[in-house]
């Protein structure tokens, strides 16, 4: 049986890491290198690194930085932000990324997913789906770090990208991001039930119990979190132990 992964997310903005509320990331939380060295010691399954301003500034991925960080990262590393082309993906993989996460470029050019999965293998192509309520009832996919509504239905978009070759889906509720009030279980379950690729739940984790709920009720394959690891005493290792005790297979010690 596949083990459930606990994946810290680190958000990079210009010179350091940040974390905020509902994608308004303006609170500095340290350096990327410090965080990676810390997570190396905390039994982390994987790490997600997102450059949250590269796309809005039309900047390429931070290849040099990823090259430096990957030398110190002893866990699988997913990198997102600023990816537009197959060349961007190839270069990120060559400097040490194990997977790439694509959001805005995937919406603007869905064929990029198909081409990338054929060339590099679907196992390293993660499509990030960010969602936001456009009214009290309907959610839709957003791009450009949550600033632009697309009109796409999250479930329908998830099915399409899975068919195009995405190996995983990183599903984030912008409305829950940073609130630590729990994941959007209905959203996670709807997407997970509709696709046959792993779904990583993201946005809203505030307790180990929230992670259990995302797996058991949301049917996610993995959980990603940021705020609880930055602003509380909770750790990925303790999260895995808690989930293991709840009957969820993890790489618990």
139-143 vs 148-149, strand pairing mode: antiparallel
Angle 63-70/86-94 helices, nearest 10 degrees? 30
pTM: 0.95
Question: Across residues 40-60, what is the average pLDDT?
Answer: 87
Q: What pLDDT is recorded for position 75?
A: 94
Whether residue 6 is predicted with pLDDT greater than 70 in this model: the reply is yes
Pair 240, 39: CB distance under 8 Å: no
Secondary element (H or E) of residue 16: strand 16-21
Q: Tens digits of per-residue pLDDT, 200-227? A: 999 999 999 999 999 999 999 999 999 9
The pair of structure tokens assigned to 152 is 């796409």
Would the pLDDT of 181 be above 90? Answer: yes
pLDDT of residue 88: 98
CA–CA distance, 238 with 193 (Å, rounded to integer): 28
190 within 8 A of 221, measured Cβ to Cβ: no
Residue 252 confidence (pLDDT)? 67
Q: What integer pLDDT is reported at residue 58 of this predicted model?
A: 81
User: What's the whole-number mean pLDDT along residues 17-40?
Assistant: 79
pLDDT at position 16, please?
75
| Structural domains of the chain ordered from first start | 5-245 (3.20.20.70)
Radius of gyration of the chain, Cα coordinates, nearest whole angstrom: 16
pLDDT bin (cut points 50, 70, 90) of residue 29 is low
What's the whole-number mean pLDDT along residues 82-89?
A: 97
Torsion, CA 184, CA 51, CA 228, CA 106, rounded to 10? 20
């Amino acid at each position: 049986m596949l083990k459930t992964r606990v994946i810290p997310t680190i958000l990079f903005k210009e010179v350091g890491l940040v974390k905020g509320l509902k994608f308004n990331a303006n609170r500095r939380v340290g350096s990327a290198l410090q965080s990676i060295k810390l997570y190396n010691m905390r039994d982390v399954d994987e790490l997600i690194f997102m450059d949250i301003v590269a796309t809005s500034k039309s900047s390429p991925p931070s290849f040099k930085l990823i090259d430096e960080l990957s030398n110190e990262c002893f866990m699988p590393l997913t990198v997102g932000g600023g990816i537009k082309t197959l060349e961007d993906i190839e270069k990120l993989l060559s400097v040490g990324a194990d997977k790439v996460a694509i959001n805005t470029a995937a919406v603007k050019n869905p064929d990029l997913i198909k081409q990338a999965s054929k060339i590099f293998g679907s196992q390293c192509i993660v499509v990030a789906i960010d969602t936001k309520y456009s009214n009290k009832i309907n959610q839709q996919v957003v791009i450009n770090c949550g600033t632009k509504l697309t009109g796409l239905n999250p479930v329908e978009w998830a099915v399409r990208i899975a068919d195009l070759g995405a190996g995983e889906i990183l599903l984030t509720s912008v409305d829950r991001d940073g609130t630590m009030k729990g994941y959007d279980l209905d959203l996670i379950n709807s997407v997970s039930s509709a696709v046959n690729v792993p779904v990583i739940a993201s946005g809203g984790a505030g307790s180990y119990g929230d992670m259990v709920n995302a797996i058991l009720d949301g049917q996610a394959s993995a959980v990603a979190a940021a705020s609880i690891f930055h602003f509380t005493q909770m750790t990925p290792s303790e999260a895995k132990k808690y989930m293991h005790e709840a009957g969820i297979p993890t790489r618990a010690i």
